[in-house]
Amino acid sequence: MNDFIENISPLLNAKQPRDAALQTVLRETLRHFNSETGTIHILDAEKPLLHLAAQIGLPPQLLDVVRAIPVGKGIAGEVAAQNRPVTLCNLETDSSGVARPGAKQTGVGGTVCVPIRAGDKLVGTLGIGTMQPYEYTDEETRALEEIGRRIGEFLNS
């Protein structure tokens, strides 16, 4: 796991546009975690909205829904509001009220979303999911938080 995390910063520091770098990191993160879907949202604190910066595996009908997410709404919005990870073992059967109806129709089972921080400042969210029910471990969640920290440093540079 540590080797993978150490490779995140070089991917972000490659000479490519911001959104391309985020897409590359998201793709490699999904590959590492054997997950099929993922998003990176960037926080516009003035609105307060999360704007989609990178995604892999979302159904086309869901893209309009996740392009801009109000803080406090849905999984990514809840992560931004609470500034802490949110994990669900089975998105389709979640009854906590965190998952929005559209998210339940994605076919995603297990999902985890973590804050992206630059220092102590929340700057976005990183979410991944897999098609089968799955509970991401504390170690996996901590690793994603570290990836989020590295993304935050990149965004803040």
Residue 148 maps to which CATH number?
A: 3.30.450.40
CA distance 20 to 102: 27
The tens digit of pLDDT for each residue in 78-125 reads 999 999 999 875 444 444 555 545 554 555 567 899 999 999 999 999
CA distance 83 to 66: 19
Domain count, the chain: 1
Domain that holds residue 74: 2-156
CA distance 54 to 118: 18
CA distance 128 to 84: 15
Specify the pTM.
0.89
